[in-house]
Amino acid sequence: MSYLLNRSAPGLPASELSEILDRLIWYMDDNGGEIEDVRNKWLASDDKRKVEVALGMSDTFPFDTRDKLKACFDRIINEWPDLDADCQKILETWDKQFK
């Protein structure tokens, strides 16, 4: 995944790379387990581009509980307030699916 991020075309929107990674999840023999692990590491990263790509992935949730999502997103929003809407959208989707 880092290779794809590092070698992506200049100006490529994070959402485009997120879409590619979402598709790869379903093509891997581990059902995307390794991709999900990297995604969670990217969400904890201090690299905004990695965080943006990880937030843009939408086929699966990054964590298995809302509390983990919220804790991660609180840190992200504190660091980059402009990513608040992306975090809130994921939490709203979680709430619709699991409440």
Indicate if the pLDDT at residue 99 is higher than 90.
Answer: no
Nearest in space to 69 (alpha carbons), one of 96, 42, 88, 45: 88
Its pTM surpasses 0.85: yes
pLDDT digits (tens, 9 = 90+) for 12-42: 999 999 999 999 999 999 999 999 999 999 9
Other Cβ atoms closer than 10 A to 86: 20
Indicate if the pLDDT at residue 6 is higher than 90.
Answer: yes
Indicate if the pLDDT at residue 91 is higher than 90.
Answer: yes
Q: Whole-angstrom Cα distance, residue 54 to residue 21?
A: 9
pLDDT digits (tens, 9 = 90+) for 40-73: 999 999 999 999 999 999 999 999 999 999 999 9
Res 1: pLDDT: 85
Domain limits of the chain?
Answer: 2-98
Q: Whole-angstrom Cα distance, residue 82 to residue 68?
A: 20
